[in-house]
Amino acid sequence: MDVRYINPFIEAMVTVLPTFGITDISRGIIEIKEDMYVNMDITSVLGLIGSARGNISYSFSEDTGLTIASAMMGETVKEMDEMAWSAISELSNQLTGRGCKILSENQLDTDFTTPSVIIGKDVQLLVSPIQTISIDIETSVGRIQVNIGLEV
């Protein structure tokens, strides 16, 4: 997969997460997978279309999801209720929007769809049947796994 489509989304994490007080952002393990399986508690998935076509997902443990929701809402969020998943949805919207803006600045116009947030323990999720880059982003609130599967 073309690295020009990966770096903007990593850059977006570094730019957007600190606006919610999430710090110590570093890149962890990067893997290439033949298809994109995720088995974490919370996953937000968005479709990408334009110069590239596919899906991007952001996955978290429940603890990390709640901490992020609390940071975004400015109050302690104790359960994954509508307020919490709306916050996760909005974060993934902003991360992907920022990534797509950087792509557009590089003449790679790409649009994105509304997020779908999937919540559940013991969920086997196939995010894309095509080759996928999986990137662990370590942060002050825990690990965020980003999976990008694009046909370019």
Partner 1 sequence: MEMDYCRPFLDSLKKMIVEMANIKAKEKKSFSPEDKVLTSKGVTSIINFSGKVKGRLVLDLEQELAAAVAENITGKVFDSAKDNKLLSAIAEFNNIVAGDGITSLNNKYSLGLNLIPPVVFSGKGAVICIDKMPSASAECSTQYGTVRINVAFERREAYLWM
Q: How far is the CB of 12 from partner 1 (least distance, A)?
A: 19
Q: Using CA of residue 34, residue 150, residue 103, residue 48, what is the dihedral sign?
A: negative
How do 110-112 and 42-50 pair as beta strands? antiparallel
- Pick out residues in 23-42 that bind partner 1 (CB under 8 A): 35, 37
Nearer to partner 1, 3 or 121 (CB): 121
114, with CB counted inside 10 A (0-12, 13-18, 19+), is: exposed
Instruction: Single out the residue of 45, 73, 59 nearest to residue 143, CA to CA.
Output: 59
Tell the burial category of 6 from Cβ atoms under 10 Å away from its Cβ (0-12, 13-18, 19+).
middle
116 binds partner 1 (CB under 8 A): yes
**Residues in region 44-83 near partner 1 by CB under 8 A:** 45-49, 53-55, 57, 82
Q: Is 71 or 118 the residue whose CB approaches partner 1 more closely?
A: 118
Contact pick of 62, 111, 136, 138 for partner 1 (by CB under 8 A): 111
Q: From the CB of 134, what's the least distance to partner 1, in Å?
A: 15
Least Cα distance to 52 among 145, 152, 119 occurs for 152
Q: Pick the closer one to partner 1 by CB: 99 or 115.
A: 115
Q: What angle do CA 40, 41, 43 make, to 5 degrees?
A: 75
Please identify which residue in 2, 75, 78, 129 interacts with partner 1, judged by CB under 8 A.
129
Q: Residue 124 CB, nearest distance to partner 1 (Å)?
A: 4
Site for partner 1, rule CB under 8 A: 35, 37, 45-49, 53-55, 57, 82, 85-86, 89-90, 111, 113-130, 149, 151
